[in-house]
Amino acid sequence: MSNAIDIEIKKSIDNNPVVLFMKGTATMPQCGFSSKVVGILNYMNIEYKDINVLSDENIRQGIKDFSDWPTIPQLYINGEFVGGCDIIVEMTLSGELDELLNENSISFDQEASKKIREENK
């Protein structure tokens, strides 16, 4: 944790229960994968901080180095890296995301979560 970008990333993760490093913003995602994760988080009414990696190349590369994960988006819950788009979709459909949110006392719409699973059987 030596450079300023790592410190900035760590501060964002530590100061926000749910953080999504993404291309674009929560109101205007700039790629399909970011849009899919934003759709899940918004539909489940999860409060999160969105960080647009397109606005700063240092953060865009820095988060990949920080997590040792090559792709964007990246979701963090209570300081822990959860995964990218495919992992979040899989966890949503299996109910694992609900469990993780409950374990971390993150509020979300459980009915919306159930509906996602029902619609994707």
pLDDT in tens, the chain (121 residues): 458 999 999 999 999 999 999 999 999 999 999 999 999 999 999 999 999 999 999 999 999 999 999 999 999 999 999 999 999 999 999 999 999 999 999 999 999 999 999 998 8
Length of the chain counted residue by residue:
121
Q: What is the pLDDT of residue 2?
A: 54
> What is the CATH T-level fold of the domain 4-119, as seen in this structure?
Glutaredoxin (3.40.30)
CA quadruple 77, 78, 79, 80: dihedral sign: negative
The strand ranges marked E within 1-121 are 18-22, 49-52, 74-77, 80-83
Where are the chain's structural domains? 4-119
Q: Tokens 């899940």 map to which residue?
A: 40
3-state helix vs strand vs coil in the chain, percent to 5: 55, 15, 30
Give CA separation, 67 vs 39, 92, 102, 108, in Å: 23, 21, 23, 25
Question: Are residues 76 and 13 in contact, defined by beta-carbon separation less than 8 angstroms?
Answer: yes
